[in-house]
Amino acid sequence: MDWLTNIFMPGGKLLGIEWHAWKVVGWMGNILFTSRFIVQWWATEKHKRVVIPNAFWWLSLSGSGCLLAYGIYRRDSVFIFAYLFTWIPYIRNLMIGHHAAKAIHTCRSCQTECAPKAKFCQECGTKIEA
């Protein structure tokens, strides 16, 4: 099995990369940040319209947080500046999504979700009570 170790871990490095805890944080940030595109693509395909689910914003927030932590560890001003303020729109979008979800009314007759300002259900015509 030494030959296998030498292929994948030459000189004690996995795939030529020297691993430590901060390297794992940085790579985890990359994985989280990149996975948000897959989540958004999947949601858009599922709904057949452009959709940005809350998971996209959570992945953005956690991924950029990991990358910021890694940049601080490395004392890399480019990394730090690139991720220092990204949390602001991510948190704001999560807040807007939360408030919008709370504003949706459910029709008591047919259980259809109706627009926040709707006065009547678009499915059954029942008056919406706030």
- pLDDT surpassing 90 at residue 114: no
Q: Nearest Cα to 124, choosing from 105, 103, 109? A: 109
Confidence at 7, pLDDT banded by 50, 70, 90: low
Domain span at residue 25 reads 2-84
108 belongs to a structural domain: no
* Residue 15 located in a structural domain: yes
Q: Given a cut of 90, is residue 75 above it in pLDDT?
A: yes
Q: Above pLDDT 90, what percent of the chain? A: 55
CA dist 95 and 93 (Å) reads 5
Is residue 52 in a domain? yes
pTM for the whole structure = 0.73
Residue 96 lies in a domain: no
CB 83 within 8 A of CB 64: yes
In a domain, 53, yes or no: yes
Mean pLDDT, rounded, of the chain: 87
Write down the pLDDT at residue 104.
78
Model confidence at 17, in pLDDT bands (50, 70, 90)? confident
Whether the predicted pLDDT of 43 surpasses 80:
yes
* 118 inside domain: no
Q: Report the number of distinct structural domains present in the chain.
A: 1
For residue 24, tell me if it sits in a domain. Answer: yes
